[in-house]
Structures are given as C-alpha cells and as structure tokens.
Amino acid sequence: MAGLDRNFTDELRARLSVVDVVGRRVPLTRKGQNYWGCCPFHNEKTPSFSVNEEKGFYHCFGCGEHGDIISFTMKTNNMDFKEAIQELANLAGVKMPEYKPRNPDIVKQEEALFDICERAASSYSEKLFTPEGAQALEYVRRRGFTDDMIKKYRIGYAPKNNLIANKFADSKFLISSGLCRRGDYGMYDFFRDKLMFPIFNARGNIVAFSGRSLDGSEPKYINTTDTDIFHKRKTVFGFNFARDAIHRANRSIVVEGQIDAIKMQCNGFGETVAPLGTALTEDHIALLCKSNRNITFCFDGDSAGQKAAARACDIVMPFLRDTSDIKFAFVTGGKDPDEIIKTFGADAMRKIIDEATPLVEFLWNLANTNFVVSTPGGRSQAEKFLKKQIEKIVDSDLKSEFEKEYDKRKFDSWHKWKKTNNAVKIKLPDIDNITKSTLIYIINTFPELGERYLDFLGTLNIDFDGVAADLNLDVAAAEKYIVSLKLQRHLEKLNAQKRELTTQLLAGDTGARDEIARIDEDIVKYQEKLEILITI
C-alpha cells in the first residue's frame, strides 16, 4: 500500500467520516469526544469499541483492533485493499482512479513546493517589519492585530519588487508554486505590494497565500492558483488553528473572510474558519463535518450574504445527520464580524451567534420568502423547493422527520399565512375593498405578477385566497395597476416620513433638515414616474 498513490485515499478519508462508515455496521453513542459501541470483531455486551472522529480511527479496548475507514471496510466485508477502496469510493460518490506507484519526481516536486512556500512566508514576515512594509504594518495594526497575532498567523508583506523571483531564481518549481509567473522580460512575482496571509493545510503546512490589496484596488483579495499541494475548493482557511477549538466548542463557525476568521479566533471564537473566497463547496463542508457536524454559518445580512446562506443550506443538506445542529447567523448594519468585535466587543458577536436561526427554520423561511405562498401556484412551487431540499438528506429517518415537520407547518400556516415586511416602520393606510378585490383578481389570474412583486405585495396583508369578480384585465394592464399602486404607497410613506421629520425639526433637531430635502427630491421623482405611468 505504501507504493500506491496516497492522494485518493487521503481524499476518501477527508470526504468520509469514520463515524458514518463504522455507524453503518455498529450502533454508536457519543460520549465526550468519542463514539462508543459493541465491537464487531469480538463478542461483548459492554461497549469497548471507540471511534474518534477527529483522528479518523477506531480502537477496541477489548480485543485491540485498531484502524481507519479502509481497514474497517476490509475487515467487516472480507475485502482486499482495492475492493475496499472501490466500496468507499462508491459511498463517497467519486470515481476510483487507476492505481500506480507514486512517481518519485512528483514526490520531489511536492516536497520542493512545501519548502518554497515555507521560505516565502519567512521572507514576507521579515519584509513586514522593514521600511518597505511600513504601510502594510500600519494597516494591520490599525485593524487590531497585535504582534503576537501577526507572529501566530505569520502575516507578512510582499514588496513591489520581485522578491521571490530573485530569491528562488534557481528553483525549477517556482512557477509551479503559484508565487511567480513568466513574462516577456523574465520571471516576476505574482504577489506584489500585498498584505500576505499564509494558507495552511489541515496538518499545518503552508501550501499557498492570500494577498490583500493596500491601495484600494480590486479585487481586494487574490489567492495562489491551484497547485499540486493546494486546491482552493478543498482548503478551509484557519482550520489548522481551529481543530481543537471545534471539538471543545462542539461546533464550527464559518465566516466569509480571512480577517474575520482570525479576529474571531483571537476573541473567544477559536472554532471559526472561512472559505477562500465567497464560494463554499461540498469539500469544505465534508472537511468540517469530519471534525464536527454542528456548524453555524455567519454571513453579512445583505442580499449577497442571504444568497451565500441559501447556497450553504443547499450544500449542507446531504451531510445532515440526526446529531447535526446547523444554524445561520447574520451580521446586519453593513458590518462584518471584525467590525462588530472592534466596535461593540466580543459579547455582541456572541449574542449574534447565540441567536442564530436553526436550519429547519431557515429553510422554511426560504420557502416563504422566495415564493408567493398565498397563492396556489406559489404554494406548489414552495412545496417542490422543500421536497427537493429534503430529498438530499441521506438518513431516511431524519428525512421523514423533516417531511413531518414541514407537513405540519404547511397545514398550520400556508392557508392563513400573512407575509409581513419588518423593514416597513411606518404604518400606512389600510387597503380599501375595491383595491383589495382588484389585487386578488390580478394575483389569482396572473400568479407570475405575484412572484415579480412579492416584496411589495407582502406589505399589504391581503389574503389572496379570496374570491374576486372578473375584471377582464390583460397582463399589461394588471401590471400597470400594481406598479401605480406601488408608487402611490411609496409616496404615502415618503410623506409620512416627511411629517415625522418636520416634527423633529420643529422640536429643535436641525439634523432633520437635510433628510427632509432629500425626501422632497424623492417625492418629486416618484410623482413624475406616477404621472408618466398614468399617461401611458
């Protein structure tokens, strides 16, 4: 086995949890950090068979059997090594490659890449504390990084010149490392004038770098391209530092960026990690679930953060077990975890994490937010969405419980559901019966308009299951009606805000004057839009 390519077996160990593989044969119960059951290799009544999720091994204190997912599959199925690998590959849903002895040149190249990355990190660290790195050092300290933090995470500075290209000019693996590229005039550094964050693999080896711009240029972050030792889709930033804390906290926290992850780790949330970029992958989730299946995703509260959360929900569904505790937390107000901690302290961040929304609730909210469940068509679409997500759950018993939970919610809520918009702070006049009847007719006749104007219609608190007379409107006239009503309602809201601000101005709040002027401009603009619509 030593002569075979270890990359694929390592991938299987990363993708498959030893608890899941053993649990298919042995009923396991969690006690502390380990899982326990009766040994399948000898007869016993008192469980002495221990499974450690973090280390990926099982051990029987009765008969001494010890191994990983591969040896367990071989022994319990009476398979040889290759057959066991094929069985595990099928379980992981990956294609089994042709096995061949490892090429000594590939081994040599990997060792050389590790060495280049390690020495490059040392060079960047040294440059941070030179006059060239003064701006980068001032920036990172302004962000609240102490010298101990800088040292722990090996933060550095890539100068404007070709530091790495000149220092490692004799290395034939320099371009393969992703640190340099070849141009018309020779080799040049990929990272220049960047604040540098080394990227570690799970074993603590530096395999790549993430560079942050210091002059405001975009993109804000650039990462080393994929190499033989670094794959962005499979690498979780900060995981090497977070592993022990994940077990102690019995969860991991996933944030969006490297600085957020570091600041969280240094302020009482050692279990925090981040994907390299905004794209979360199945490989990221597999790695985290191998350590602990309790994950709290913490994203910005804006639309991009909501989309990232929805994607995370979609990806995590196949990894759910009845021991999983998946939650979603959102940082609002245009801030990120770093800013929350710096401005309000770690307790404020802890409150956000503690109040995170459980997955079952988050998925239900997605269905109710993305579809007009006050109409038959919308409910049908929402039900298909929920069914599609639930089908991804591997555990049949857990899948059944999700189905029962949502069946109850659909029965209790959808026929009397009233969508509310918490963003509306000012109470507007109720809809009159004629307008209400017209809207019921439009939504029941043209459900696609209901979906298009979902956010607005949800503020009206109308039960669209009602019956209305046939008004003989075509879709264009129906949409014109909704848009005109939307403009009128917005004008009412602006006028209400203006009245409230005028009261504040009369009470001596001179700061309200500029806001009143802005509202006056908006009123004129929306009034013009309404007049144009009426004349069409």
The residue to which tokens 């608190």 are assigned: 461
d(CA 252, CA 242): 8
Common-topology check for domains 6-92 and 233-364: no
Distance between alpha carbon 458 and the CA centroid of its chain, in Å? 28
Judge whether residue 253 has pLDDT over 60: yes
Torsion of CA 439, 444, 446, 449, to 10 degrees: 50
C-alpha pair distances (Å), 158 with each of 20, 111, 135, 232, 261: 43, 23, 12, 21, 21
Percentage of the chain modeled with pLDDT above 70:
91
Nearest-angstrom CA–CA distance, 452 and 335? 29
Q: Which of 315, 387, 285, 293 is nearest to 35 (CA)?
A: 293
In degrees and rounded to multiples of 5, residue 220 shows phi and psi of: -65, -40
d(CA 134, CA 206): 24
Query: Of 54-58, 59-63, 114-118, 432-436, where does the model show the most confidence?
Result: 114-118
Mean pLDDT is lowest, of 450-464, 485-499, 509-523, for: 450-464
Where does the pLDDT of residue 516 fall: very low under 50, low under 70, confident under 90, or very high at 90 and above? Answer: confident
Q: Which two tokens stand for residue 179?
A: 């640190």
pLDDT of residue 207: 95
Asked if residue 62 lies in contact with residue 44, where contact means CB atoms within 8 angstroms, the answer is yes
Question: Residue 179: is its pLDDT beyond 90?
Answer: yes
Q: In percent, how much of the chain has pLDDT > 90? A: 40
Q: Which residues are within 8 A (CB) of 443 and not within 5 positions of it... i.e. 6 or more apart?
A: 372, 374, 375, 449, 450, 457, 464
Least confident of 218-227, 377-386, 479-488: 479-488
- What would the mean pLDDT of 506-524 be, rounded to a whole number? 78
What's the pLDDT band for 6 if we cut at 50, 70, 90? low
Average confidence (pLDDT) over 154-160: 95
> At residue 95, does pLDDT exceed 60?
yes
pLDDT digits (tens, 9 = 90+) for 475-513: 888 888 888 888 888 888 888 888 887 777 777 777 777
Q: Give the right CATH number for 104-230 from 3.90.1150.10, 3.90.980.10, 3.10.290.10, 3.40.50.2300.
A: 3.90.980.10
Residue 38: its pLDDT value, please?
92
Each residue's pLDDT tens digit, 20-36: 899 888 889 888 878 99
CATH pick for 6-92 out of 3.40.50.1000, 3.90.580.10, 3.40.1390.10, 3.20.20.70: 3.90.580.10
Looking at residue 141, what is its pLDDT? 92
**411 compared with 49, residue with greater pLDDT:** 49
* Of 282-291, 415-424, 508-517, minimum mean pLDDT range: 415-424
Q: What is the pLDDT of residues 187-211, one digit of tens each?
A: 999 999 999 999 999 888 999 999 9
- Contact (CB, 8 A) for 337 and 298: yes
What is the rounded end-to-end Cα distance, in angstroms, of the chain? 77
Structure pTM?
0.64
C-alpha distances (whole Å) from 216 to each of 205, 213, 219, 270, 343 are 30, 6, 9, 29, 22
Q: What is the reported pLDDT for 80?
A: 84
Domain range summary for the chain, segments of one domain joined by +: 6-92, 104-230, 233-364, 433-535
Q: Given a cut of 70, is residue 535 above it in pLDDT?
A: no
Q: Which amino acid is at 289?
A: C
- Going by pLDDT thresholds of 50, 70 and 90, the confidence category of residue 394 is confident
| Nearest residue to 328 via CA among 351, 310, 348 | 310
| Cis previous bond, 219, omega within 30 | yes
CA 506 to chain CA mean position, Å: 47
Residue where the block lists tokens 């994203």: 299
Is-contact 69 21, C-beta < 8 A? yes
CATH match of 233-364 with 3.60.70.12: no
3-state secondary structure of 331: strand
What is the rounded average pLDDT for all residues in the chain? 85
Q: Which residues contact residue 54 at a Cβ distance below 8 angstroms, ignoring those fewer than 6 apart?
A: 33, 243, 247, 290, 291
32-50 confidence digits (pLDDT tens): 878 999 999 888 888 999 9
